[in-house]
Amino acid sequence: MKIKFKFVLIITVIFCLLMICAAMCAKKLIEDLPSISNLENYTPNIVTKIFDKDENLISELFVERRVLVPLNEIPMNLQNAFIATEDNDFFDHWGISTKGILRAAVTNFLKRKVAQGGSTITQQLSKTIFLTSEKTILRKFKELLLTVQLERNYTKEEILQLYINQIYFGAGGYGAESASKIYFGKSVRDLNLAESALIAGLPKAPNYYSPFKSIERAKQRRAVVLSRMRDLNFITKEQEEEANNYPIPDRKNLQEQTAGYYFIEYLRILLEPKYGTNVLHKGGLSIYTTLDIKMQRAAEKALAENLNNFDTQMAGNKSAANKKVQGAIMAIDPKTGAIRVMVGGRDFKETQFNRAVQAKRQAGSAFKPFVYTAAIDSKLMTPATLLNDEQMVFAFDGRNWNLVSRDLSYVEILAEKMTEDELIDPMKIWYPANYGNKYRGIIPLREAVAKSVNTCAIEVIDKVGPERVIDYARRMGIKSPLVNTLALSLGSSDVTLQEMVSAIGTLASGGIKTEPYFIVKVVDKNGKVLESNIPEEKEVLSPQTSYIMTNLLKGVVEKGSGFAARDLGRPCAGKTGTSNDSVDAWFVGYTPQIVAGVWVGYDDRTSLGTRTTGGSIACPIWTAFMKDALRGYPVVDFVQPKGIEWTLIDPKTGLLALSKTPKAYLEAFLEGTVPAMYCNQKPEQEPLPENETPEEEDGY
């Protein structure tokens, strides 16, 4: 009897100890559980959306591609498809399905491992939000406890909404809205029955059932979902059959982001330090940009087609063998500074280096507008000023470069005074040349600009002074270091394409410098505006000087090195540029609506070929782009401000023309700078015929 009593006592004590231990473990387990109160402030990773200037969605930034939508915007077919597939007793159970657990237990016992769960939608939600996906008994017990708490604190509708917005659908998409955009290119609210069934069938095995991986498996899985929906009387047999015959989506039929990769990456690089990676990629921001996606696509097309053609032409050239030429395009609204186009290279997937903003290259003759702007604005010269296009020899005296001769034969005289090394030393003697070694004698400044004559640009900077040219370039928007030498007139300093486009845009805007910007506003997921930008404007030139320069640069297109731009078929102005040895080719031009620039070159600074110039490669790209970009825009000319005088000029003397002066032309002047005298003798040298083929005359 005593033995039996002792045995019972021992068993009782052991049982109590076990119960205490179990209670302590349960208490500890519950304490370790995440609080469902966190769900009140739960913020899942949400996609950041990027829009163009017309608020077209152009790209998304995300870690988990997710867009939240309320339950009332989720089609009932999709809600029913989830319930039929994942948890047909959802609205009847208390969070846990006994039948599901028993079924899973039998399966797990037979397979000797945790191979299947009888998870309800609520259980899946608790696991997805709060727990890991490990298959252990402890994790399963935590899941059950959390499930009960969720069911006690939230309605079925709230749980279903959270679930549909939370789960993974494959291809980087979290939540039904993202899945709908990925697989069907539409919002979840627009899904039909067949599309809803396909979406609802994905969470079981997103990659396996993805229509992008296997159309047949996706079709079979959709049929299973539709069958379950019919069994539960959510749909009729006729609806099931119709939905089963609906086509499965194919990736090639969906419109993916095809343009603007360089712009988006540029935006990311600038915004990440400001907002942080988490907010930028997970915070659900809406970023409204200045990009014009139609213009962007036109630019990328023009660049790709022309560079492909160039590569084909250069295929037999040893220096260019197995090498792709690169290029960049930038376009800005000159009135506001809004960046409309940014193409940093021919293929973002091959190289993310952004040549529109990161590359600094010699601008060649594309820099000459700053030289002539300084001369015109300072009233040191006019468009009719005569310049001497002859050979030039400069010598350095230790402080300054001095023009010592207009005849290269003078080098022979110098040879008697200098060593051979000194003669070829660019720091001792310099004899710049025109493209093709062609010289025209005395010509007006207008012709020097149009034909891009090097010797004339050097003559102008020599009279104006490099310091003054640097000052004007700075005013207009050039920020890179500039060399304080005469060679600056030939574009010897490295600059970015963005700088060049922005600075030349100052002429297009009538002397108003606008700071380039790319973001209109940034809005958080709650609609709060985090930042907004308005154009920054500053008058740096008179409207009159800007108009005179525009009129001169129109001559580059009409009768000069930018002749390819005549195909645009509307008023435009611009300047070609080719750096020394044809390493870089440029064209920066504008209409009243847009200013754009094109750069072409090899990344390793290999020559593009001795006959390749800004006029032959960059200008045609610019023209092709502008034709597409301006389609639908009105054809308008540049507005003439007050303070401009027009008069007939004799091209030989630069003076006022007489009634019978040969080749007299109408020229625009700043008020008060018109020549005071008439020409009174017959020209000794006839001007070039009107139909002469223009040649670019760039290079040192």
Catalytic residue among 59, 196, 365, 493: 365
3-state helix, strand, coil in the chain (%, to 5): 45, 15, 40
Enumerate helices (H) and strands (E) in the chain, giving the number of each.
Answer: 22, 24
β-strand partners of 586: 577, 599
Reading the block at residue 398, the tokens are: 């230790």
State the catalytic residue, choosing from 86, 195, 300, 499. Answer: 86
Residue 283 structure tokens: 């915070």
Residue (of 499, 508, 462) closest to 577 by Cα position:
499
What's phi and psi for 341, nearest 5 deg? -140, 140
Return the amino acid letter for 599: W
Residues 6 or more apart whose Cβ sits within 8 Å of residue 587: 366, 562, 565, 574, 575, 576, 577, 597, 598, 614, 615, 618, 619, 621, 622
Contact 374, 469 (CB under 8 A): yes
Phi/psi of residue 612, nearest 5 degrees: -90, 125
Please state, in angstroms and rounded to a whole number, the distance separating the CA atoms of residues 241 and 244. Answer: 5
Which residue(s) pair with 598 in the sheet?
Answer: 329, 587
Tokens, residue 341:
């186009």
Give dist(CA 126, CA 13) in Å, integer: 37
Give the Cβ contact number of residue 226 at 10 Å. 29
Residue 456 CB partners (closer than 8 Å, separation 6+): 387, 388, 389, 443, 445, 448
Q: 696 an active-site residue?
A: no
Contacts of 617 (CB under 8 A, 6+ apart): 306, 310, 585, 600, 608
Task: Identify the CA nearest to 388 among candidates 405, 366, 402.
Answer: 405
Answer yes or no: 86 catalytic. Answer: yes
**What is the distance between the alpha carbons of residues 84 and 200, in angstroms, rounded to a whole number?**
9
d(Cα 373, Cα 381) in Å, to the nearest integer?
10
Q: What sign does the CA torsion over 357, 361, 364, 370 have?
A: positive
296, 343 contact by CB (below 8 A): yes
Distance, in Å, from the CA atom of 372 to the CA atom of 382, rounded to the nearest integer, reads: 9
Q: Are 532 and 520 in contact (CB under 8 A)?
A: yes
- Return the axis-axis angle of helices 137-153 and 121-130, rounded to nearest 10°: 110
Taking a C-beta distance cutoff of 8 angstroms, is the pair 592, 637 a contact?
Answer: yes
Instruction: Report how far residue 491's alpha carbon sits from residue 577's, in angstroms, rounded to the nearest whole number.
Output: 8
CA–CA dist 356, 346 (Å, integer): 11
Per DSSP, the residues of 269-291 read HHHHHHH-HHHHHHB--EEEE--
Find out whether 596 and 341 touch, Cβ atoms under 8 Å: yes
80: buried, middle or exposed (CB in 10 Å: 19+, 13-18, 0-12)?
buried
Residue 285, amino acid: L
**Which positions are catalytic?**
86, 365
